[in-house]
Amino acid sequence: MPNEANGCRPYTAGLIIALALLPAAPASSAPPRLLAGSDYIPAVTAAIAGARESIDIAMYFIIMDGSDPAHPVDALVEELAAARRRGVRVRVVLENEKFHESALAYKTLHAAGVDIAYDSPRTYLHSKALVVDGRICVVGSTNWSKTALRTNHELAVLFESTASARAVTQSLDALILERAPPVPAGTAGVLVPEALLLEPRAGRRMVRARDDHALSLYLEFLRQGAGTLPLDYATLASAIGHPAAARPTGVDYYEKLRRPLQRLDRKYRLLKFDGRKRTVSLGASGASFSVPASYWSTGAATRLSTRARYAYLIALYEAQNSVKNPYWFRSQKDLAKKYGLSDYTLSLGLLELERANALEVYRGESRDGGFGDRDANIYRVNPLVAPGELRRALAALEATHGAEPLRRARALADALDEPDDLTVIEVFLDLIREYGYEAVAAANARTAAFKKGSALRDVSTTVRALAAPWDAAY
């Protein structure tokens, strides 16, 4: 609400305070310039057009139109692309939570050769700042959206300061970035009834009983389709992870399947099994969620444990029902209650998914030091990657950084249960290059000593420790 005493809104007063804290401009520099309303676009356009060496931008979001060259945001994005074409280094960092809004800008700038990335959920980037040639700064409240540029009451300041420019660029250097944009958990794939997760008689009982074959067979039948299905021995052997040489045949193999099929029918009530005709019948699915084909094609269906596969199904269901898909938010205590598993079982399943890089977990901070009373975790479902694809990505990193640095970076990531997370591995490669392996290993050993499940047992803690070793909180 307006501040009647001084006649200005609180955010305006805050900007006035920020102006007072700006470094005094050298005699040869122009004084700070307030950009209000229509002043912003021509001033920023001129700054970008005049760039000779570098442009660094931190922005909450960039919302393009894509079909109107006169759209103010599209015009600014084109200026950045033009700067890149004439050889200027351009870096843009965006808030990951707004990846839907910034998707077209990300695609456009990435295609133009701009170094563009989202921050990770470990940070919340709300900055609106631009630095040109390590000297010219534009800082304020103005997002790059048509509403902000044409309708809202926004204020920004343009000034020259190498010290302030350095502070902005260093703050961007310290962020852990997501080089690939988040990929929403899609609805294409095999439809799985939500009853598998929500009915007390179904999936949770499989996990408690470690009924691996029943879960594998049920998902395989869903993949084959609806209605009445004959028992295809070869396909079902693959579904339960039997190698070809060990597959029994005929009556013997039928007996291997009979018991889990009977449990799916009588105990879990998920299908009808006709032992005489050797068929199964799937009923109407009702409300459902989708499991991607990559669950089978990458080998996750047989590589992961029963509890990890069930935790993956939970993650897909939550993501597909989240307005922030692929991100979703829930405390582990709530997850255990909703899906009828012990906290211990769920923790092991989630940890296995993290180690396989199928799931990112950004853990909430404890409010009182206890495990139970914590802020909700942030989860993100990752696209599943086949082992061969991971090997090729690691080979590319080895070609760039060398075999020994990569080995060390993977070992440091493994200490935090992230051995296959390419983002974390790349962070460690950068840290080793900047601080040296011994310093990074020492800091990371302290990070790894935190209890599993702690929000502090994360690569961001190692980054903070190296950047600010005096921080007593660490």
CA distance 136 to 148: 22
> What pLDDT is stored for residue 469 in this prediction?
56
> What pLDDT is stored for residue 368 in this prediction?
47
Q: Smallest Cα–Cα separation from 363: which of 460, 462, 474, 454?
A: 454
Q: Smallest Cα–Cα separation from 93: which of 134, 129, 45, 141?
A: 129
Which residue has better confidence, 48 or 225? Answer: 48
Give per-residue pLDDT as tens, 112-155.
Answer: 999 998 888 777 888 899 999 999 999 999 999 999 999 989 99
> What pLDDT is stored for residue 14 in this prediction?
37
Asked if 280 and 287 touch (Cβ cutoff 8 Å), the reply is: no
CA distance 135 to 320: 44
Q: Is the pLDDT of residue 243 over 70?
A: no
Asked if 178 and 120 touch (Cβ cutoff 8 Å), the reply is: yes
pLDDT > 70: what percent of the chain?
85
> What pLDDT is stored for residue 143 in this prediction?
93
Give per-residue pLDDT as tens, 363-419.
Answer: 766 544 444 455 678 898 988 988 899 999 999 999 999 999 999 999 999 999 999
> What pLDDT is stored for residue 199 in this prediction?
93
Give per-residue pLDDT as tens, 272-315.
Answer: 999 888 889 987 778 999 999 999 999 999 899 999 999 999 99
CA distance 103 to 201: 41
For the chain, give the number of residues.
Answer: 474
For 7, the 3-state DSSP assignment is: coil
Which residue is it, tokens 């693959």? Answer: 238
Helix (H) or strand (E) holding 139: strand 136-140
For 318, the 3-state DSSP assignment is: helix
Kindly state the average pLDDT of the residues 78-88. 94
Q: Is the pLDDT of residue 12 over 80?
A: no
Which residue has better confidence, 29 or 85? Answer: 85
Note if the pTM is more than 0.75: no
> What pLDDT is stored for residue 467 in this prediction?
76
Point out the least confidently predicted range of 94-98, 160-164, 184-188, 285-289: 184-188
CA distance 209 to 203: 10
Which residue is it, tokens 């190698």? Answer: 243
For 470, the 3-state DSSP assignment is: coil
> What pLDDT is stored for residue 172 in this prediction?
87
Q: Is the pLDDT of residue 6 over 70?
A: no
Q: Tokens standing for 5?
A: 């005493």
> What pLDDT is stored for residue 11 in this prediction?
36
Give per-residue pLDDT as tens, 306-327.
Answer: 999 999 999 999 999 988 888 8
Tell me what the pLDDT averaged over the chain comes to: 85
Where residue 340 falls (left for φ over 0; alpha for ψ -120 to 50; beta otherwise) is left
Kindly state the average pLDDT of the residues 95-119. 89
